[in-house]
Structure 1
């Protein structure tokens, strides 16, 4: 009687070329967005409801106008107290960061990590023909890195 192996057939290792590495493969596309005419108070409520730390401000045609973050809201809270103003008296257009830096959907997601470090932002909008199509967060980059672990970083160009 021969020895039988109970070890199953091993799966072929995933080839580095088959692993997605572009920003578009990891960006979020189901976004909570804001309008410039909303109050900062409304934005804070939505951030808490959706458990997000910021988002893009767009017009009626989904064109990017800016980005608003928890930090922008915190500044509003502080200023409201300091100047004794009502909390909901300020609009997004007065608090958002205009001319937001964007990154390209076809960029290598690992190269995007360097842009996060250089700019100290938590998210970058992704545009196509001037229209908002997605957003890449630091968490998205970490997810990509975990997906690519064990593969040579050099082959991900």
Structure 2
């Protein structure tokens, strides 16, 4: 007579054993930019570090904006169209100032839903008004792969 179903002696994982919060998967060591930096410097860093954008912070590490490849491309396009030099432009003139953040205690699946709803590539996370980290779509993918290895079939 064969065995119909075998689950083994493995104990099921408790929800508390599996990290599900954004803060468990967010990147804490970030490449940040200053509002006074030139856009050319930003472009060089984006290329060097192979990132698509990053938070803009002031001297107190408070989030004041976010700048992306798209913002830089828009600047290049406009400056070429109007035949303006690139080197005079500052990050503060081209960054997005109204930045949506998410809570580090948010469930990663809720964060994934928020990425889909807002069409954003990254969300900064603040703690006590200071930039604590950032979660990207890639971080969500990494989290799901890690979770799958723990408790998905």
Same fold (TM over 0.5): yes
Say whether residues 1:60 and 2:59 are aligned partners. Answer: yes
The two structures have a TM-score, normalised by structure 1, of 0.86
1:132-156, Cα deviation, whole Å (9 max, x unpaired): 000000000001111122746xxxx
Structure 2: 5+ residue runs without aligned partners? 1-7
Q: How many equivalent pairs are there?
A: 143
Matched, 1:101 2:111: no
Q: Is residue 150 of structure 2 the alignment partner of residue 136 of structure 1?
A: no
Corresponding position: 1:110 with 2:109: yes
Root mean square deviation, CA, Å: 1.7
Distance 1:84 1:20, change over 3 A: same
Structure 1: 5+ residue runs without aligned partners?
A: 1-9, 153-157
**Segment of structure 1 superposing worse, 118-127 or 142-151:** 142-151
**Offset of 1:95 from its aligned partner?**
0.4
Query: Residue by residue, what CA displacement relative to the aligned partner does 1:35-55 show, whole Å, maximum 9, x if unpaired?
Result: 001111000001111111000
Runs of 4+ displaced beyond 3 Å: 10-14
TM-score, length of structure 2 as denominator length:
0.88
